[in-house]
Structure 1
């Protein structure tokens, strides 16, 4: 397995930045997140345009990029917490300069639309954190996920696990854990942000997609050669999925499993990763061991 770089873990008194590069956020949840972070012992910097809005975006492209670039380049900032998902990260990712970041890496944290950032960083072999974002720190039922994220930022890499699932496919595999939101993974195929999938353990989750859209995206992963290269698959939360005009006839998990039926790698179904309140963090790009047994599923982080 290829070596990966972990940015330095955080300690009390470190500075973090809240930056909005995707959808717009309201002031109330951002200020609530600020108080929560300060209670954890962090100093909080807000992006100058964090509360901007232009349509469905958190401000103009150039302003979102400026906030992101400033946080990337500021050596005082030890982690960048993306305010929320939605849409917009891919509009600026090719304009960002990662040269200073590569010299002094820091944790970049988010999920959903920020899957584009996670995948992009993999070409530098720098790890990031797929986890809950400030816009939902105060979400009801989300305290466990939030505290798990803060623990991970401080270096507490606890095991990610869930009980057995009837659709699990047992086995054991080692590889890099990559992925996140299925729609964004498809969006990044054949782009400069697409990683090397060979031997990877792929994570998939999504929200509010029609089931036939899910089937179409899985076909794209199949035809692009992604699924055949994997060492393992982790199916997270597929929340509020929708039927089209005609019922598709399968659950989201069943659709995914149909497209990997010809491969022998282990499949973990029902991982606590996605858009539900119980969205546990993982280190994207890390080398892991995935184990799926008749008792349940788990991942453990491996040393480089």
Structure 2
């Protein structure tokens, strides 16, 4: 299939990051923002209109990539087309940030096709979640500046999502995110597994995608990091399998703290099911680590999800169940 040949060993060379990468610019009313579809195909013109409605409501002017409504099987165009749209947005000085239309699957396929030199030279916030995790992690490894793990362009931008985005991207603020109020809004109360505070680089996202990138040159180092994870529609044994992969790869031994957000629809509904609950699976992996950890943050496939500063230095407070940004991610 198109693009797969680019996944060869030659693509694995990792360039040295700048010693002090520039921060992306803060967003302002009237700014042009790029909109791309790096993964699965969108649902048609209604999705484009929905994205335009939300972004204009934020005071932004959307500029859609030429292949945003494309289709190649279940993907939004060929790997080359999807990568070309993203590359064009980072090369265009008029574009101040880039939103993903949706997740699904496909972001990892375009990583070797991206112009990482241009992405490093032209820092711009990348926004999205779910499959967009592949891009967030690759940006943390290859670009060195923070991105925003939050709603996609077609998401429902409820108050918690918008307020956290505004504070991070527009106000250049250093907010404390999360806590019981956000948990209640997401419908699942949080739970502290082990109390305490920890500082580190906030890395993670969709657990399926994090595990997919294990053993590849696109994954940043998790040494001393704060790991955050979420997922959707995964049975308990699959969450178990992915956490075991992280443990065998040494990631869980490396991190300084963990927050597991929402796992929407991650529950076996069979009447005779007698296996582990999701909480039991999570406790099995996180409790023995002896580091600050909690679950239930409004992170993931929920309508009021937080916008998180992926790749930035943060402080996790497992007792308060919050994440505090230590310095602005925009200039």
Instruction: Tell me if TM exceeds 0.5.
Output: yes
Question: TM (normalized to structure 2)?
Answer: 0.84
- Is 1:119 the counterpart of 2:137 in the alignment? yes
2:200 match: secondary structure? strand
2:287 match: secondary structure? coil
Q: For 1:213, which of 238, 243, 252 is the aligned residue? A: 238
Give the structure 1 partner of residue 325 of structure 2. 301
Partner deviation per Cα, 1:177-230 (whole Å, 9 max, x = no partner): 000000000001111111111000000100101211111111110000000001
The worse-fitting range, judged by mean Cα deviation, of 200-209 and 23-32 is: 23-32
Equivalent pair of 2:51/2:101 in contact (CA under 8 Å): no
Residues matched between the structures, number: 298
Give the structure 1 partner of residue 156 of structure 2. 137
The worse-fitting range, judged by mean Cα deviation, of 159-168 and 212-221 is: 159-168
Matches for 1:47-66 after TM superposition, within 5 Å: 47-66=65-84
Partner deviation per Cα, 1:54-104 (whole Å, 9 max, x = no partner): 221111222111111111211111101000000000111111112122112
Give the structure 1 partner of residue 288 of structure 2. 262
Matches for 1:68-79 after TM superposition, within 5 Å: 68-79=86-97
- Distance (Å, rounded) in 1 between the aligned partners of 2:78 and 2:259: 35
Equivalent pair of 2:223/2:255 in contact (CA under 8 Å): yes
- Is 1:290 the counterpart of 2:307 in the alignment? no
Question: 4+ runs of 1 displaced by more than 4 Å?
Answer: 2-5
- Distance (Å, rounded) in 2 between the aligned partners of 1:165 and 1:146: 21
The worse-fitting range, judged by mean Cα deviation, of 28-37 and 144-153 is: 144-153
- Distance (Å, rounded) in 1 between the aligned partners of 2:109 and 2:190: 38
Partner deviation per Cα, 1:117-162 (whole Å, 9 max, x = no partner): 1111112321100000112236xxx343134324422124432122
Give the structure 2 partner of residue 152 of structure 1. 168
1:9 to partner: Cα distance = 0.9
**Unmatched 5+ stretches in structure 1:** none
Equivalent pair of 1:29/1:136 in contact (CA under 8 Å): no
**Unmatched 5+ stretches in structure 2:** 1-18, 181-188
- Distance (Å, rounded) in 2 between the aligned partners of 1:203 and 1:166: 15
Give the structure 2 partner of residue 226 of structure 1. 251
Q: For 1:279, which of 291, 305, 316 is the aligned residue? A: 305
- Distance (Å, rounded) in 2 between the aligned partners of 1:216 and 1:244: 19
Change (3 A) 1:34 1:151: farther
- Is 1:23 the counterpart of 2:40 in the alignment? yes
Superposition RMSD on alpha carbons, in Å?
2.0
The worse-fitting range, judged by mean Cα deviation, of 21-30 and 110-119 is: 21-30
- Is 1:198 the counterpart of 2:214 in the alignment? no
Equivalent pair of 2:164/2:177 in contact (CA under 8 Å): no
Equivalent pair of 1:17/1:80 in contact (CA under 8 Å): yes
Equivalent pair of 1:5/1:127 in contact (CA under 8 Å): no
Equivalent pair of 1:162/1:270 in contact (CA under 8 Å): no
Equivalent pair of 1:176/1:201 in contact (CA under 8 Å): yes
Give the structure 2 partner of residue 83 of structure 1. 101
Question: TM (normalized to structure 1)?
Answer: 0.92
- Distance (Å, rounded) in 1 between the aligned partners of 2:21 and 2:279: 30
- Distance (Å, rounded) in 2 between the aligned partners of 1:55 and 1:150: 36
- Distance (Å, rounded) in 2 between the aligned partners of 1:75 and 1:215: 44
1:39 to partner: Cα distance = 3.1
1:244 to partner: Cα distance = 8.5
